[in-house]
Amino acid sequence: MSKTKMRPLTVGLLGTGVIGGGWAARFILNGVDVRLYGRSSSAVERVQEKLASARRAYRRLTQVPLPVEGALTVVNSIPDAVRGVELVQESVSERLEVKQQLLAAASRAAAPETLICSSTSGLRPSLLQAGVDYPERLLVAHPFNPVYLLPLVELCAGQSTAPESLEQAAEIFRSVGMHPLVVRKEVDGFIANRLQEAMWREALWLVRDDVATVEEVDDAVRYSFGLRRAIVGPFRIGGGGNAMRQFMQKWGPELTSPWTKLTDFPEYTDTFLDKLVEQSDARADNLTAPEFEQKRDDCLIAVLRGLRAERYGAGETLARWEQGLRERVAALLTNSSSPLQMPTIEMPSDSIDVNGQIKESRIIELFGVATDALLHLIGVEGEYLSKSGRYKTIETHVSHLRALQAGDRVQIHTQVLGVDDQRLHLFHVLAREGDEEPATTGEQMLLHVRAGNDCSEIVQGNVRERLLELARLHTNLPSPEHVGARVWAKI
């Protein structure tokens, strides 16, 4: 593969459906100009909508600024779409004759060195090469919806495809953030769709036979092995070939059990088992079983935490469980004439970055848990939040005084430094269990604002009384050492 990272300047897209629109979005947001051939103006509008969704998605996906967008030019003919471009990507409907005609026409108008790819979900590229000029530059490049987010693109060569065409295509797709995978044997449905299709057929049987509804089938997937599938495929057992051999010996007999309606399975010979074992040993990352299990767990946690923020699927289950924990913590807190003490926790290893530095954003989250528990204690929760008001942070000062290590047992003490009708002044001290000296301190000023908007508003009713009572107990305590610190302004 060539060493220079080739990013195309312009691509020609044929087809304006979900896949064509997804390609347009991925290329444009990566700074590539797009020439789009669509037959109706409503189709072009749908592409614009897809582009708007993708813009929103990319803003959430990364906080790094994106390149200047490529230009979108809608053209009225196939030749206009394919002239002067580095790559033509066809994404019209899955009808062989339609694709064949379109690809043949595109190949006549495009320069001989222009790559031509088809997004077909399952048609073999050799069939698509019939009638194509310079068929050595035609291949399948099969993406997944939404194209602007899912990285895989399966590359499949037909009988006439030149190996360099595969390499050039892989490089282009890599340059726009994708993961190209070359399919080593031409086969209907390539790899991923064959696997999806098998599961899909079983899913249809389950509904047909009233074992489950469509929603139950979906839930059975997304609350269980579906979470693993974002991380590892079906062959990833943990450990190398030996683990695979044990796994196959344990579960091989189940192939004869009536566990699926799809009973056909490959003959279970020693040669086949050896192949599975050898390939498992030859993986690019050869993690040991315990290393793999830890990586798998870490990734599952990352997925669950991500979904928790969205309160969706397994993330909702996690959020509900955590809410129970949080209420338990709040119930343990009591007004007293000492700072509120959160239960001991251990610093998780993912709160430390690659350089061994504690992540400031995780510390801020920890202080947030303590603040939430305090607000819960004074009654800022449930109906009060939805009808009356809430506290928002307007100022924060964090001092990192002592290094923390993953696994350190730490406690947070939170003291109310002062209150008035609108403001709440807090001081968090995070210290290793048993340490006199704090590891990190956080001083925060919160402002009480009206529910539903951002206007300051005086604190009300019971909350006010409970807050004043807590403040009365706390403000007689000695002021902690780092209160009122400022970042050293003179060096």
CB 155 within 8 A of CB 140: yes
Q: Which CB, 131 or 259, lies closer to its own copies?
A: 259
Residues 394-423 that bind its own copies (CB under 8 A): 394-400, 403, 417-420, 423
Residues 165-224 that bind its own copies (CB under 8 A): 177-179, 181, 183-185, 187-224
Q: Which CB, 209 or 383, lies closer to its own copies?
A: 209
Q: Which CB, 131 or 452, lies closer to its own copies?
A: 452
Question: Contact region for its own copies (CB under 8 A) — 83-91, 105-113, 130-138, 341-349?
Answer: 341-349
Q: Which CB, 48 or 344, lies closer to its own copies?
A: 344
322 lies in the binding site for its own copies (CB under 8 A): yes
Task: Report in angstroms how near the CB of residue 451 gets to its own copies at its nearest.
Answer: 8
CA 19, 20, 21, 23 dihedral sign is positive
Residues 238-257 that bind its own copies (CB under 8 A): 244, 254-255, 257
Residue 389 CB: number of other CB atoms within 10 A?
23
Q: Which CB, 81 or 471, lies closer to its own copies?
A: 471
Task: Report in angstroms how near the CB of residue 472 gets to its own copies at its nearest.
Answer: 14
Residues 369-388 that bind its own copies (CB under 8 A): 369, 385
Q: Say whether 184 sits in a helix, a strand or coil.
A: coil
Interatomic CA distance for residues 28 and 25, integer angstroms: 5
Residue 444 is which amino acid? Q
Q: Which CB, 10 or 53, lies closer to its own copies?
A: 53
Q: Long-range contacts for 480-488 (Cβ within 8 Å, ≥24 apart)? A: 480/415, 480/427, 480/429, 480/438, 480/441, 482/399, 482/401, 482/438, 482/441, 482/443, 483/417, 483/427, 483/443, 484/443, 485/397, 485/399, 485/443, 486/397, 487/397
Can you list the positions of beta strands (E) in 303-439?
340-341, 345-346, 389-400, 409-419, 423-432
Site string for its own copies, 73-112 (x = CB under 8 A): ---------------------x------------------
Residue 200's Cβ-count burial label (10 Å; 0-12, 13-18, 19+) is: exposed
Site string for its own copies, 134-173 (x = CB under 8 A): ----------x-x--xxxx-x-------------------
Helical ranges in 311-411 per DSSP H: 314-332, 360-377, 382-383
Longest dimension (CA), the chain: 88
Residues 427-466 that bind its own copies (CB under 8 A): 443-445, 452-454
> Of the candidates 48, 62, 159, 288, which one interacts with its own copies according to CB under 8 A?
62
